[in-house]
Amino acid sequence: MSDPGIELFIEVQCEEIPARFVAPAMEGFAAGIQKLLGGLILGPVVPYSTPRRLAIAVQVAPKRPAVEKVVTGMPLAQARSADGLWGPAALGFAKKRGVDASALFDHNGFAAIRVVEGGESTATLIAAGLEAVVLGIPFKKTMRWGDGATRFARPLHGILCVLDGQVVPATIAGLACSNVSAGHWLLSPEPFTVTSAEGWLHALRERGVYADRSERHARVEAQLRTVAAAEGLHVQPDADLLDEVVNLVESPKVIVGHFNEELLNLPHRLLIESMKVNQRYFPLFSRDGARPQLTNAFLIVANNPEGDPALIAEGNARVLGARFHDAKFFYAEDRKLALGKHAQKLSGTVWIRGLGTMAERQAAITDAAMKLAPLTGANVDHLARLGTVLKADLATLMVGEFPELQGHVGHLLAEAEGYADALAIEEAWLPRHSGDALPSTPAGLSFALAERMTLLSRCFVAEMEPKGSDPQGLRRAAVGLVALLQALPHGAQGGLDALFATAGVPLPKSLAEFLLARLRASLTGEGHATDLVDAVMATGGADVASITARVHGLSALPKDEMAAVRTTFRRVAGLGRDHSAADYSLALLQTEADQQLHLAVQALPTDDADLLVALRNLRPVVDRFFAEVMVMCDDLPLRGNRLGLLRSILDRFSGFADFARLGGE
Amino acid sequence: MEPTPLQSFQALILTLQRYWAAQGCAVLQPYDMPMGAGTFHPATFLRALSPKPWRAAYVQPSRRPTDGRYGENPNRLGHYYQFQMIWKPSPLNIQELYLGSLAAIGLDLKAHDVRFVEDDWESPTLAASGLGWEVWLDGMEVSQFTYFQQCGGVELTSTPVELTYGLERLAMYLQKVDRVYDLVWVPEGVNPDGSHRPAVSYGDVFEWNELEQAQDNFENADVPEMLRGFEVWESQAKDLIQRSLPLPAYDCVMMCSHTFNMLQARGAISVAERVQYIKRVRDLAVMVAKEYIRKDAMTLAERREEAGRGAV
């Protein structure tokens, strides 16, 4: 068994690091240690973190292995004086290397000495390199403090660094490393001595601090479940929120709070988002049949297990009361005006400088949405009526205060006023990000398409396409539009040109290219082979749903079959591509293989939707043809006939895929 | 017996003043001009620009015209108080000192949940920014804790730490009051002659003011006059900077900023114009900062000489 080595343990102690910084910082910290110690590392680099500490433990070799090397100097003739003793040149050579004459010896006719390289202790390497590692920990933002020029996420307070239980004499930003740590800043601030990671973890655990992030994560998760269950309620999983709160506490304690029940009259999305985003609470739900129903109970993940739960719960409930009181005030104010009145304010609001007002924007979206109605199946009268208030909620106090509720507030107010299909106002915003839900109603789909098509078109016509920065969110709009088009009925849109023409929206060439680039990125990002995507997209149809369906179809073929398809049809393209015409003479179909291929080509479907099946059926016939006949034979009419046969295959599939773009396996 | 911060609004202020005075802060008084936040006070904005050490604490009324609610919202005010502490260069034990101030106002920290949650600060009009946290007391933001990094467009070499306590919010928590106007400013008592002295509430002091100021901010303030006023303060600021008078020039910058806030409340500024106005105030703040730094490096005698007034 190899030497287990000795343990290096480092704890960087600082003021509260932003929760979102922790994961990338720990990755960078571990990488820095890997780079510093390289081959001396004998085991995994184990990360630990709390809001106030970033730590690493790793087994390392105690020193770099020593390697003996012979260094030769001058030939013996020059090295020795007449009396056979080492002369001045040899002595100088030895002195330069820090040894005396006794170390010199004859090595194949040259004066030589032995030197030992490596052998430095790991402690020395750490003492020399730790500062660069710690100060090189990557953070999204760094700051200065005091009078120093050092940058870190927040002020550094100390560095604990022990190797095999001994303090390593390193200095970081003027702080000498120690073997001292401390517990929770409030409950157990008294310092304690550390000799190992295990001892440190244990000492912290005794003080209620869980420095192992995954252990803390599990504790929070378990407590959330237990406390919710004790209330007879349940928590909806939210991995991002859980990750965040785990990085906000080092001594987690889950406490249940209750806000005033009458606030449940407010939009639930507002309550839920406020609790999660602003307060990092977990809302609790009851099961009303199949649908979870929001209750006035919520869970707080506090950082003080010894605190007074009633006091902490009461304080947190007061915050919600105050926060939602604002919302109640805004909602009441907003409801005093009809949505149509709010919409009137839009003519005084600039949309994008130089591109008109919000009122004009709303009219443009509505116009396009109505023209798209035959495609989506939406009720045109509903669209027209909703279109007058589509953006009205932008003028409400509620959306002014909670911009993330844009669409939702409009939907609720419109519903209360009896607008048909009011949900479409909210669904116009879908999808908000990639992977988000798509509109569930035809009216929502119409507005969602029109919203993005008009935005992109106006900006591209005005030459405001994104270059690096993207203040209008055009990339996101394009990704959203592609996702919407992918979900449209196959072939319904008839290509980007036709789609934009239907909507009455100009499609500059640059925008078409931009959208196709997003589509390509989306398909390859889903894991479809680049050559398949390119082969399909090269057909020039620009019908997003059709391109997507063809790529998905090809991509779903079994691996072996796909490899065969690539080989066969690349060959068809290679031979047939440059042949002038797709005609051939029946008289020249000399062999069984010629005739079989002719019959198969004749049988190719007229409907594009069936081409994938046709392709799969055709392949063995083509393979037999290639195996049994010589296409490039010396008989020129015969050769022309066979090339014509292949060319007719290419032509039939020209709207399906460009086989010439298929790559190797 | 002296009332505690749990019983009286002014006791909260007095306690914080005494606490920070004991830490060596100069306890200053509010600046005599309207401003949106205590950071505008020259004791913070201008002093932060200097490399010289500085510790000060003061109460500053903040005017937020758009936040006015005619006295109808129990939590929102168009005029409220901030308690501001600035300490430069930031000491390493500032978190402890801050927590000490919470203990001083009567909070038993071990019973509560106090947390430092990331919240970076930026003032676009002052070209100032910093990193720090909002401090949570049982989930409620009671203070803003900021390490200034940039001020007036200048990267600071000596880093100030700024603490801002939202006094009304903190007092509402301490006094367990749901409506700001119900805060006890002065508890009831007995006069020397034995007669009863009724309590004074926050509402007694400010409720009427909130109503009228909101009427002005949202309905009456004269937009054309304010638009003209902005131009006047702006050109005055530029003129004073030309004459190397950064202190009075800065007063004009504050007036520009306040006028802009009033115009916003009146809905007189579109989104696109808003960015332009912010930039105009910011440009002034940057010019003031540059001139302030130049004169800060001078002695008073040199400044007198530059003013053509020689020795006293």
Q: Among A401-405, A436-440, B40-44, name the most confident range.
A: B40-44
A343 assigned to some structural domain: no
Residue A34, φ and ψ in degrees, nearest 5: -55, -45
Provide the shortest C-alpha distance from residue A319 to chain B (in Å): 6
Do residues A483 and A540 both lie within one domain?
yes
Predicted confidence at residue A101, as pLDDT, reads 84
pLDDT tens track for A354-390: 888 899 999 999 999 999 999 999 999 999 999 999 9
Domain end residue (candidates: B213, B235, B250): B213
CA B10/CA B81 separation, integer angstroms: 11
Question: Is residue A272 domain-resident?
Answer: yes
What ipTM describes this predicted complex? 0.94
* pLDDT at residue A193 tops 90: yes
The residue among B172, B195, B213 that closes a domain is B213
Residues B46 and B135 in one domain: yes
CA distance A449 to A369: 7
A340 is a domain residue? no
* Beta-carbon separation of B92 and A348 below 8 A: no
**Dihedral angle sign, alpha carbons of residues B19, B22, B26, B28:** positive
- Asked if residue A84 is part of any domain, the answer here is yes
Residues of B in contact with A398 (CB under 8 A): none
Tokens 């609001």 found at: A349
A654 has a pLDDT exceeding 90: no
A525 lies in the same domain as A397: yes
In this structure, the number of other CB atoms found within 10 A of the CB of residue A128 comes to: 12
Distances (CA, A) of A394 to A425, B56, B289: 12, 42, 37
pLDDT tens per residue, range B165-196: 999 999 999 999 989 999 999 999 999 999 99
Closest chain B C-alpha to A174 CA, distance in angstroms: 13
Say yes or no: B188 and B249 in one domain.
no
How far, CA to CA in Å, does B47 sit from each of B39, B121, B151, B165, B166? 11, 18, 10, 19, 22
Whether residues A76 and A45 fall in one domain? no
Binary contact (A325, B90; C-beta < 8 A): no
Q: Minimal Cα–Cα distance from B171 to chain A, Å? A: 13
Domain's final residue, options A275, A306, A335? A335
Q: Answer whether A143 sits within 8 Å of B118, measured CB to CB.
A: no
Look at residue A341 and tell me if it is in a domain: no
Contact present, A525 and A533 (Cβ < 8 Å): no
Verify whether the Cβ–Cβ distance A318 to B74 is below 8 Å. no
Q: If interface means Cβ-Cβ distance under 8 Å, which residues of chain B face chain A?
A: 69, 72-76, 89-92, 95, 99, 109-118, 120, 130-131, 133, 137-140, 147, 149, 156-159, 161, 173, 178, 267, 270-272
A132 shares its domain with A42: yes
Looking at residue A467, what is its pLDDT? Answer: 85
Residue A165 lies in a domain: yes
**Which residues span the domain enclosing A89?**
67-117
Are the beta carbons of B112 and A308 separated by less than 8 Å?
yes
Question: Same structural domain for residues B209 and B294?
Answer: no
Q: Are residues A263 and A362 in the same domain?
A: no
**Same structural domain for residues A473 and A614?**
no
Q: Which residues of A touch B116 (CB under 8 A)?
A: 15-16, 51
**Amino acid (one-letter) located at A459:** C
Enumerate the residues of chain B whose CB falls inside 8 A of the CB of residue A302: 113
Q: How far off is chain B from A426, nearest CA to CA, in Å? A: 23
Nearest residue of B to residue A153 by CA position?
A: B131
Residue A664 pLDDT level (bands cut at 50, 70, 90): low
Cross-chain residue pair B118–A18, CB shorter than 8 Å: yes
Using an 8 Å CB-CB cutoff, list chain A residues near B161: 145
In a domain, B309, yes or no: no
Measure the CA–CA gap between A468 and A526, rounded to whole angstroms: 24
Chain A's closest residue to B118, CA to CA, is A18
For B140, the closest of A149, A315, A325 (CB atoms) is: A315
Residue B308 placed within a domain: no
Dump the DSSP string for B75-131.
S--SEEEEEEEEEESPPTTHHHHHHHHHHHTT--GGGS-EEEEE--EEETTTTEEEE
- How confident is the prediction for chain A on average, in pLDDT? 91
Buried b (16+ CB within 10 A) or exposed e, B47-63: bbbbeeebbbbbbbebb
Instruction: Find the mean pLDDT for residues A450-459.
Output: 96
Distance (Å) from the alpha carbon of B272 to chain A's nearest alpha carbon: 6
Q: What would the two tokens of residue A568 be?
A: 């066969």
Please give the average per-residue pLDDT across A147-151, as a whole number: 95
On the CB side of A664, CA atoms within 13 Å amount to 0
Interface mutation target, options B50, B131, B137, B138, chain A, most CBs of A under 10 Å: B138
pLDDT tens per residue, range A570-621: 999 888 888 888 788 888 888 888 899 999 888 888 777 788 888 898 999 9
CA atoms within 13 A on the CB side of A658: 12
Say which of A16, A141, A279 has its CB closest to residue B116. A16
User: What is the Cβ-side half-sphere exposure of residue A82, based on CA atoms within 13 angstroms?
Assistant: 0
Picking from B74, B118, B272, the nearest residue to A19 by CB comes out as B118
- Per the listing, tokens 């987690």 go with A252
Q: What is the pLDDT of residue A610?
A: 81
- Alpha-carbon distance of B214 to A621, in angstroms, equals 84
**Chain-centre distance for alpha carbon A529:** 20
Under the banding of pLDDT at 50, 70 and 90, the label for residue A240 is very high
Residue A25 lies in a domain: yes
- The CATH number linked to B116 is 3.30.930.10
For residues A583 and A641, state if they share a domain.
yes
A306 closest CB neighbour out of B110, B130, B139: B110
What's the confidence (pLDDT) of residue A2?
Answer: 53
Contact B118 A187 (CB under 8 A): no
Q: Which domain, by its residues, includes B198?
A: 9-213
Task: Average the pLDDT over B30-59 and give the result.
Answer: 97
Over residues A51-85, the pLDDT tens digits come to 999 999 999 999 988 888 898 888 888 888 888 88
pLDDT of A584 reads 87
Look at residue A9 and tell me whether its pLDDT is greater than 90: yes
- CB < 8 Å to B113, chain A: 300, 302-304, 307, 312, 315
Token pair of A229 as six digits: 């269950």
Q: Which of A206, A239, A268 is the last residue of a domain?
A: A206
Supply the mean pLDDT for chain B.
95
pLDDT band at A472 (very low <50, low <70, confident <90, very high): confident
pLDDT digits (tens, 9 = 90+) for B79-109: 999 999 999 999 999 999 999 999 999 999 9
Nearest CB neighbour to A186, from listed B72, B109, B137: B109
Q: What is the pLDDT of residues A250-296, one digit of tens each?
A: 999 999 999 999 899 888 888 998 899 889 999 999 987 777 899 99
Of the candidates A255, A280, A319, A281, which has an alpha carbon nearest to the alpha carbon of residue B170?
A: A319
pLDDT attached to residue A540 = 78
Chosen domain end from A162, A188, A206: A206
A187: which 2 tokens? 């409950």
Based on the fold, state whether residues B288 and B252 are members of the same structural domain. Answer: yes
Top-confidence residue, B297 or A587: B297
Instruction: Supply φ then ψ for residue A552, to 5 degrees.
Output: -60, -40
- Is A350 close to B115, i.e. CB distance below 8 A? no
A260 and A238 share a domain? Answer: yes
| A23 domain residue, yes or no | yes
Asked if residue A533 and residue A400 are part of one domain, the reply reads yes
- As for how many domains chain B has, the answer is 2
Q: How confident is the model at residue A1 (pLDDT cuts 50, 70, 90)?
A: very low
Task: Pick the closest to residue A457 from A535, A375, A355 (CA basis).
Answer: A355
Are B116 and A353 an interchain contact pair (Cβ–Cβ within 8 Å)?
A: no
Looking at CA atoms only, how far is residue B46 from chain A in angstroms?
A: 18
Q: Does one domain contain both A24 and A104?
A: no
Q: What integer is the mean pLDDT of A17-36?
A: 96
Among the partner residues B75, B113, B271, nearest to A326 by beta-carbon distance: B75
Please, which pLDDT band fits residue A3 given cuts at 50, 70 and 90? low
**Cα–Cα distance measured from residue A543 to residue A594, given in angstroms and rounded to the nearest whole number:** 35
